[in-house]
């Protein structure tokens, strides 16, 4: 699991041929050279299998590996041995506390620190202690986490249980070093209160069903099939001093006012552009922190919008990828503070330029090394691949609504369907080569040929000619096949990737299960597989779309095909509790109906609370900052008008300007009053679903009414008097 990763390609110093990065510059022009070795620091803060092997007895180590791979429980004796070894390692490395680190339904992580301190003996000596019981189980008071009605406050007991498949790590922060033990979080009655439990359940379901598929093809060696995930994380950076002057950024994570800067992203000069010095220093620090945690931060670059960047790690087992993505987001924010900046993970911090997403690259691999999504050079002959593909087409078409739901969060409503990023309509991009194979299969029942990539002729003698991929890329598809994996591009940048992957695993497990049920009984297996592939592909061909997902025609075409187009997070919420969804999730013991209902309710709650914060931030900024500034400006204009007139000159331009300002000001004041009123009305509503829809259909609309005149005023009012940093400053002064 913890294979060695070589980063020498990123940090190769010319001439040395060593994995050494040399970093310099300590302020002014004093050069400081600090050398670090990526191989040495990698996983320094991670309690890896190697460390366990060194510190555990042989039998305890074997037991840990067995439970990791096959499931089951550690005996208390072994748990005690593991706990002691883990504690010793942590304390030797400077840790003072431990925590059960979990992922409640807030979408972020939670921790409560306990020191290793124990009662001193009679001589006053204290020996640190950490027991197997403390390692395996925790009992945080669960009443203050979202539960969607699952747990009344008088039944507050919640449990955290060690996820042995995700290694413990040391987190370094202002608190010092904390030993973090990744855990699942459940209620007293066993319902999942977190994002990890269902994910682990879905991984088991997928493994079990995928094994049935590979067995059909004679693979008797594989004992497990694992979903692998590589999430590409986009983010914005902003200067701290400017951020602190924006109530909206501080409280809502996005700008609620702001006229476009003279320059946006139209020059296409930021994407892959040279990384600015300050940002580069941030990235260097971020990588170092992540490598220490065993996160394989690999790729970094500037993204499309000004001040937008991306970090992609190397893919890992789904649950570790989920944990690591949480650490990536957390570390991004922490390191930004250290560099006098703030990291914005919101999906749409600025109107008018690209938002941020998180491409969730997903594939499934057997433990004897077969990637079920690898078509090979001749996909038309790779029957196992074609069966897997047919099942995925069926899964995605049948549960397009659930997949869309799994990628929704409040911020992502600004992306999905808002004519950027992927549209809110789920479709699959297969690319030319595969689509051709699928078409042949549907039309003739046989795929006899395969389109080849051919040669790319560079036309320059000194450049090599390339073997082209058989398929070009498509950037507008929400679910694109990219060689040996699918890339689910709808996921929001601020969101946990647990739900999308839980859903993907679940829907594909169901399709595998249904196929296996039929094929295992077949008398002529070859024929049955052939028929099933043709049947599934024909029935679900409508989900395949290789064209431009941003085009208006696609929306109409998708409607003709009967594909769902769910516009917002709260409209997607009830897809969780349809009979179809309940049947799916209950069949594979991923969610009970009650758990699904609670999750639907949490969606409404989260939505209402988030929009409420945004509305209050707008009311605050409009009332205390923007309107007073505009009043001051109009007074100075009025004074000018009088002075110019008194001097006997023509004041018509100044008067016209004053009238324009007064008009927008009146519109702002009216919208402000209206927003105050609807916000009060919304807050007082009892039914969470009704409330969420009221926020969407009424409060958000009034927020737009308030923003429009304010943004116009920003373009007119004297810059010296405008009370908040502008888009130009926020995005270009970094
Ligand atoms: P692309 O350029 O097509 O987006 P990259 O190779 O840059 O592909 O990979 C993007 C992300 O996908 C990375 O996080 C990478 O580790 C991950 N990835 C690559 N192969 C797989 C795979 N088989 N399964 C899951 N994720 C993968
Ligand atoms: Mg990609």
Residues 58-90 pLDDT 10s: 999 999 999 998 888 999 999 999 999 999 999
Looking at the CA of residue 484, tell me the nearest atom of ligand 1: 23
Q: How confident is the model at residue 2 (pLDDT cuts 50, 70, 90)?
A: very low
Element spanning 678, H or E: helix 652-683
Instruction: Check which CATH number belongs to the domain holding 125 and give it.
Output: 3.10.20.70
Check residue 607 and give its pLDDT: 98
Instruction: Check which CATH number belongs to the domain holding 338 and give it.
Output: 3.30.590.10
Looking at the CA of residue 482, tell me the nearest atom of ligand 1: 3
Burial of residue 108 (number of CB atoms within 10 Å: 0-12, 13-18, 19+) = middle
Tell me the average pLDDT across 323-352.
97
Each residue of 405-452: pLDDT tens digit?
A: 999 999 999 998 665 667 899 999 998 889 999 999 999 888 877 777
Q: Is residue 571 part of a domain?
A: yes
**What is this structure's pTM?**
0.92
Pocket of ligand 1, candidates 227, 231, 315, 365: which has the most ligand atoms within 8 Å of its Cβ, to mutate? 315
Residue 232 Cα to ligand 2 midpoint, Å, equals: 7
Structure tokens at 485: 């994996």
Q: Which ligand is nearest to the CA of 497?
A: 1
Spatial CA neighbour of 314 closest among 485, 67, 106: 485
Q: To the nearest whole percent, how much of the chain has pLDDT over 70? A: 91
Note whether 159 and 136 are within 8 A (CB).
Answer: no
Q: Does ligand 1 have an atom closer than 6 angstroms to the CB of 474? A: no
Residue with the smallest CA separation from ligand 1 atom 14 is 230
The residue segments making up the domain with residue 395 are 195-231+358-589
Looking at the CA of residue 312, tell me the nearest atom of ligand 1: 14
Task: Spell out the alpha helix ranges (H) of 195-276.
Answer: 196-216, 240-244, 247-252
Q: Is residue 678 part of a domain?
A: yes
Residue 473 Cα to ligand 1 midpoint, Å, equals: 13
Residue 115 Cα to ligand 1 midpoint, Å, equals: 39
Note whether 707 and 724 are within 8 A (CB).
Answer: no
Asked if 451 and 561 sit in the same domain, the reply is yes
Tell me the average pLDDT across 381-387.
92
Q: Is residue 558 part of a domain?
A: yes
Structure tokens at 148: 């969607």
Pocket of ligand 1, candidates 230, 429, 473: which has the most ligand atoms within 8 Å of its Cβ, to mutate? 230
Q: Does ligand 1 have an atom closer than 6 angstroms to the CB of 485? A: yes
Asked if 437 and 415 sit in the same domain, the reply is yes
Residue 582 Cα to ligand 2 midpoint, Å, equals: 32
Q: Is residue 670 part of a domain?
A: yes
Structure tokens at 472: 């070009």
Of 185-189, 656-660, 674-678, 730-734, the least confident: 185-189
Check residue 318 and give its pLDDT: 97
Pocket of ligand 1, candidates 485, 486, 487, 508: which has the most ligand atoms within 8 Å of its Cβ, to mutate? 485
Number of Cβ atoms within 10 Å of the Cβ of 622: 24
Tell me whether strands 176-187 and 95-101 are parallel, antiparallel or unpaired: parallel
Asked if 425 and 471 sit in the same domain, the reply is yes
- Dihedral sign, Cα of residue 262, residue 264, residue 269, residue 273: positive
Is pLDDT above 80 for 455?
no
Asked if 465 and 570 sit in the same domain, the reply is yes
Q: Considering 536, 556, 589, which residue would you say is the last residue of a domain?
A: 589
Each residue of 272-322: pLDDT tens digit?
A: 888 899 999 999 999 999 999 999 999 999 988 999 999 999 999 999 999
Q: How confident is the model at residue 27 (pLDDT cuts 50, 70, 90)?
A: very low
Check residue 26 and give its pLDDT: 38
Element spanning 632, H or E: helix 627-646
Of 171-180, 200-209, 465-474, the least confident: 465-474
Asked if 583 and 709 sit in the same domain, the reply is no
Which residues partner with 184 through β-bridges? 161
Each residue of 476-512: pLDDT tens digit?
A: 889 999 999 999 999 999 999 999 999 999 999 999 9
Question: 525-539 and 431-444 are packed helices; what angle lies between their axes, rounded to 10 degrees?
Answer: 110
Tell me the average pLDDT across 254-276.
86
Characterise 94 by phi-psi region: left (phi > 0), alpha (psi -120 to 50), beta (else).
left
Instruction: Check which CATH number belongs to the domain holding 658 and give it.
Output: 1.20.120.1560
Structure tokens at 654: 């100044």
Check residue 70 and give its pLDDT: 87
Asked if 276 and 369 sit in the same domain, the reply is no
Check residue 377 and give its pLDDT: 85
Q: Is residue 44 part of a domain?
A: no
- CA of 581: how far to CAs of 70, 391, 597, in Å? 28, 17, 11
Check residue 6 and give its pLDDT: 31
Is pLDDT above 90 for 197?
yes
Looking at the CA of residue 314, tell me the nearest atom of ligand 1: 16
| Distance (Å, whole) CA 40 – CA 19 | 10
Number of domains in the chain: 5
Check residue 421 and give its pLDDT: 61
Residue 557 Cα to ligand 2 midpoint, Å, equals: 26
Q: Does ligand 1 have an atom closer than 6 angstroms to the CB of 232? A: yes
Which residues partner with 169 through β-bridges? 46, 180
Each residue of 103-122: pLDDT tens digit?
A: 998 888 999 999 999 899 89
Spatial CA neighbour of 240 closest among 276, 297, 274, 278: 278
Check residue 152 and give its pLDDT: 58
Looking at the CA of residue 473, tell me the nearest atom of ligand 1: 3
- CA of 490: how far to CAs of 232, 323, 411, 499, in Å? 12, 19, 12, 12
Structure tokens at 218: 């004679």
Structure tokens at 695: 């926020």
Looking at the CA of residue 232, tell me the nearest atom of ligand 1: 14
Q: Does ligand 1 have an atom closer than 6 angstroms to the CB of 361? A: yes
Helix (H, G, I), strand (E, B) or coil at 306: coil
Q: Pick 455 or 569 by higher pLDDT.
A: 569
| Distance (Å, whole) CA 208 – CA 214 | 10
Q: Please name the residue that has the structure tokens 């004796």.
A: 77
Residue 403 Cα to ligand 2 midpoint, Å, equals: 19
Residue 20 Cα to ligand 1 midpoint, Å, equals: 25
Q: Does ligand 1 have an atom closer than 6 angstroms to the CB of 296? A: no
Residue with the smallest CA separation from ligand 1 atom 1 is 482
Q: How confident is the model at residue 559 (pLDDT cuts 50, 70, 90)?
A: very high
Asked if 173 and 243 sit in the same domain, the reply is no
Q: Is residue 445 part of a domain?
A: yes
Mean pLDDT for the chain? 90
Q: Does ligand 1 have an atom closer than 6 angstroms to the CB of 431? A: no
Asked if 187 and 199 sit in the same domain, the reply is no
- CA of 300: how far to CAs of 19, 228, 273, 286, 360, in Å? 18, 21, 11, 11, 16
Check residue 463 and give its pLDDT: 66
Q: Does ligand 1 have an atom closer than 6 angstroms to the CB of 313? A: yes
| Distance (Å, whole) CA 299 – CA 281 | 15
Looking at the CA of residue 315, tell me the nearest atom of ligand 1: 16
Q: Is residue 4 part of a domain?
A: no
Structure tokens at 328: 């990536």
Structure tokens at 624: 């205390």
Asked if 75 and 169 sit in the same domain, the reply is yes
Q: Is residue 594 part of a domain?
A: no
Asked if 219 and 237 sit in the same domain, the reply is no
Looking at the CA of residue 231, tell me the nearest atom of ligand 1: 14
Residue 546 Cα to ligand 1 midpoint, Å, equals: 20
Looking at the CA of residue 361, tell me the nearest atom of ligand 1: 26
Q: Please name the residue that has the structure tokens 């855990």.
A: 183
Q: Does ligand 1 have an atom closer than 6 angstroms to the CB of 230? A: yes
Of 35-39, 210-214, 278-282, 459-463, the least confident: 459-463
Q: Does ligand 1 have an atom closer than 6 angstroms to the CB of 312? A: yes
Q: Does ligand 1 have an atom closer than 6 angstroms to the CB of 5? A: no
Asked if 652 and 708 sit in the same domain, the reply is yes
Q: Does ligand 1 have an atom closer than 6 angstroms to the CB of 300? A: no
Q: Does ligand 1 have an atom closer than 6 angstroms to the CB of 228? A: yes
Check residue 238 and give its pLDDT: 98
Asked if 381 and 519 sit in the same domain, the reply is yes
Q: Considering 554, 589, 624, which residue would you say is the last residue of a domain?
A: 589
């Amino acid at each position: 699991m913890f294979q060695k990763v070589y980063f020498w390609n990123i940090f190769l110093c010319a001439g040395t041929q060593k994995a050494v990065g040399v970093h310099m510059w300590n302020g002014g022009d004093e050069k400081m050279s600090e050398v670090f070795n990526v191989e040495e620091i990698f996983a320094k803060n991670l309690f890896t299998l190697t460390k366990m092997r060194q510190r555990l007895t042989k039998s305890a180590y074997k037991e840990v590996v067995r439970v990791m791979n096959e499931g089951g429980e550690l005996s208390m004796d072994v748990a005690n041995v593991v706990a002691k070894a883990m504690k010793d390692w942590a304390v030797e490395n400077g840790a003072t506390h431990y925590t059960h680190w979990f992922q409640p339904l807030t979408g972020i992580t939670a921790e409560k620190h306990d020191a290793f301190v124990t009662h001193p003996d009679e001589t006053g000596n204290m020996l640190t202690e950490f027991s197997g019981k403390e390692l395996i189980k925790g009992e945080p008071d669960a009443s203050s986490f979202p539960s969607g009605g699952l747990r009344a406050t008088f039944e507050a007991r919640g449990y955290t249980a060690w996820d042995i498949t995700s290694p413990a790590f040391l987190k370094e922060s202002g608190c010092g070093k904390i030993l973090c033990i990744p855990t699942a979080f459940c209620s007293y009655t066993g319902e999942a209160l977190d994002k990890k439990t269902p994910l682990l359940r879905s991984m088991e379901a997928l493994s079990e069903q995928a094994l049935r598929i590979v067995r059909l093809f004679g693979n008797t060696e594989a004992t497990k099939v694992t979903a692998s995930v590589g999430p590409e994380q986009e983010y914005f950076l902003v200067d701290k001093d400017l951020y602190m002057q924006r109530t909206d950024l501080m409280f809502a994570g996005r700008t609620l006012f702001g006229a476009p800067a003279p320059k946006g992203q139209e020059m296409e000069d930021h994407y892959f552009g040279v990384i600015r010095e300050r940002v580069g220093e941030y990235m260097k620090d971020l990588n170092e922190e992540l490598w220490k945690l065993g996160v394989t931060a690999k790729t970094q670059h500037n993204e499309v919008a000004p001040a937008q960047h991306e970090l992609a790690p190397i893919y890992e087992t789904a649950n570790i990828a989920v944990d690591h993505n949480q650490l990536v987001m957390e570390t991004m924010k922490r390191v930004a503070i250290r560099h006098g900046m703030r990291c914005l993970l919101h999906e749409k911090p600025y109107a008018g330029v690209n938002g941020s997403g998180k491409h969730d690259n997903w594939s499934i691999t057997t433990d004897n090394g077969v990637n079920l999504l690898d078509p090979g050079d001749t996909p038309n002959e790779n029957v196992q691949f074609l069966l897997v593909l047919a099942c995925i087409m069926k899964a995605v078409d049948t549960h397009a609504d659930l997949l869309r739901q799994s990628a929704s969060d409040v911020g992502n409503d600004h992306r999905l369907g808002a004519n950027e990023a992927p549209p809110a309509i789920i479709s699959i991009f297969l690319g030319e080569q595969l689509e051709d194979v699928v078409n042949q299969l549907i039309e003739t029942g046989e795929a006899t040929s395969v389109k080849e990539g051919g040669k790319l002729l560079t036309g320059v003698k000194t450049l090599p000619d390339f073997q082209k991929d058989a398929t070009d890329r498509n950037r507008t598809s929400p679910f694109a096949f990219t060689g040996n994996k699918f890339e689910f591009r709808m996921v929001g940048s601020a969101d946990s990737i647990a739900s999308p992957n839980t859903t993907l695993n679940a829907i594909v497990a169901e399709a595998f299960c249904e196929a296996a049920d039929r094929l295992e009984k077949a008398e002529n297996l070859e024929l049955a597989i052939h028929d099933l592939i043709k049947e599934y592909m024909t029935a679900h061909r409508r989900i395949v779309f290789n064209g431009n997902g941003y085009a208006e025609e696609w929306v109409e075409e998708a409607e003709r095909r009967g594909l769902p187009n769910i516009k917002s997070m709260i409209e997607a919420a009830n897809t969780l509790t349809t009979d179809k969804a309940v049947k799916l999730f209950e069949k594979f013991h991923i969610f009970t109906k009650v758990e699904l209902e609670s999750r639907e309710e949490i969606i409404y709650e989260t939505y209402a609370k988030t929009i409420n914060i945004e509305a209050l931030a707008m009311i605050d900024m409009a009332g205390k900052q923007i309107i007073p500034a505009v009043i001051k400006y109009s007074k100075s204009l009025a004074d000018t008008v009088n002075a110019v007139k008194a001097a006997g000159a023509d004041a018509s331009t100044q008067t016209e300007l004053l009238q324009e300002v007064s008009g927008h000001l009146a519109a702002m004041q009216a919208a402000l009053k209206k927003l105050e009123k609807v916000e009060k009305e919304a807050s007082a509503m009892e039914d969470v679903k009704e409330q969420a829809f009221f926020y969407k259909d009424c409060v958000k609309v009034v927020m737009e009414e308030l923003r429009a005149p304010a943004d116009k005023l920003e373009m007119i009012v004297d810059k010296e008097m405008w009370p908040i940093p502008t888009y130009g400053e926020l995005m270009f002064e970094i």
